[in-house]
Structure 1
Amino acid sequence: MKTADIGAFLFGVGIIGMLDGIVFHQILQWHSVNMHTDRFHQIMSDGLFHLFVTLVIFVSGILLWKGNPKEPSISFWGSFLLGAGAFNLVEGIVNHHLLQAHHVKPGPNQFLYDISYDIFALLLLTIGWILLRRRNDA
């Protein structure tokens, strides 16, 4: 895997992690990283999560800058979508299903929300894989 591909992958991880935190944690307030505590510690756990994904985005920027890919659109978007999909799928399986740490939207139909999150992750992974395969076939 090229440096730029790793950078784009990490950029996908960071951006989808940031979107998850902003949309699901802050705007909709459906869940926090640590749901089973008081509000102070929920906000603290979300803040640490945001710090982590910010560092991932920072590192990805350095790798993208150093990598200077020849085919930026297909390589970048394929690796970006692989990173985003991988993050969502791992986060969904581990936190929503295995650990039951939190759910996308707790309450009625929470399994439907959780599985929809996983299906979206698989869609991102599939599109990313197709784009990278197209690059390799060219």
Structure 2
Amino acid sequence: MTTTTKRKLINSGSFILGFGFIGALDGIIFHQLLQWHSVYMLADRPGQIVSDGLFHFAVTITLVIGGVLLWLAGNPSSLAKGIKLVVGGFLIGGGTFNLIEGITNHHILQIHRVKPTDANPLAYDLAFLGLGLLLIIIGYFIKRTKNERATAADL
């Protein structure tokens, strides 16, 4: 496998894995445990359960795809900055999930809010988007930092 192919697999696999992982956390923490960030406030309880089931199925498929791509890439530490690519891509993928889900479902479609029962639900929605943006920024800087380990090119 070429270095370019390995790098592409690591970048796409870690992004997709991060996207799916934050999606899974969103479903578990916000939808099920806290019952904030959910359509549970709607009257159609069977429809809510089906929509959450479809969501969990989609993020599970996303996790599997990301994992398979990383598995195909092989050991990331055999590539210069390989671990940083995995961690940075994972955080960027997770932050992207928050931004896409937050902007689409909370603001454009208005399907639900992060915490609809609060006196100021917009504050929770903006914090959710802010967290997504923060994850993307941190992931970007992790991917861009100089590798401390000397590579053959440095010697």
TM-score by length of 1: 0.92
User: Quick check: 2:13–2:67 contact (8 Å CA) kept in 1?
Assistant: yes
Residue matched to 1:119: 130
2:26 aligned residue: 20
**Match of 2:99?**
89
> How many Å apart are 1:43 and its aligned residue?
1.2
**Of 72-81 and 120-129, the range deviating more from structure 2:** 72-81
* Cα distance in 1 for residues equivalent to 2:146 and 2:13: 17
Identify unmatched segments of 5+ residues in structure 2: 1-6, 150-155
CA contact (8 A) 1:78 1:130 kept: yes
Please give the secondary structure, in 1, of the residue aligned with 2:112.
coil
Identity %: 50
Q: Distance in 2 between matches of 1:53 and 1:93?
A: 18
CA 86–135 in structure 1, closer or farther in 2 if over 3 Å, else same: farther
Q: Distance in 2 between matches of 1:53 and 1:88?
A: 13
User: 1:63-74 residue pairs with structure 2 within 5 A?
Assistant: 63-68=69-74, 69=76, 70=79, 71-74=81-84
Q: Show the counterpart of 2:145.
A: 134
Whole-angstrom distance in 2 between the partners of 1:32 and 1:102: 6
Q: Which has the larger radius of gyration?
A: 2
- SS of the aligned residue for 1:2 comes to helix
Q: CA deviation at 1:34?
A: 7.5
Instruction: Find the aligned partners of 1:95 and 1:111 in 2 and give their Cα distance.
Output: 13
Q: What is the deviation of 1:99? A: 1.1
Number of aligned residue pairs: 138
* Root mean square deviation of aligned Cα: 2.0
Unaligned runs of 5+ in 1: none
Identify the residue that residue 2 of structure 1 maps to in structure 2.
Answer: 8
User: Quick check: which one's helix share is greater?
Assistant: 1
- The offset of 1:33, in angstroms, is 5.2
Distance (Å, rounded) in 1 between the aligned partners of 2:58 and 2:121: 26
Counterpart in 1 of 2:90?
Answer: 80
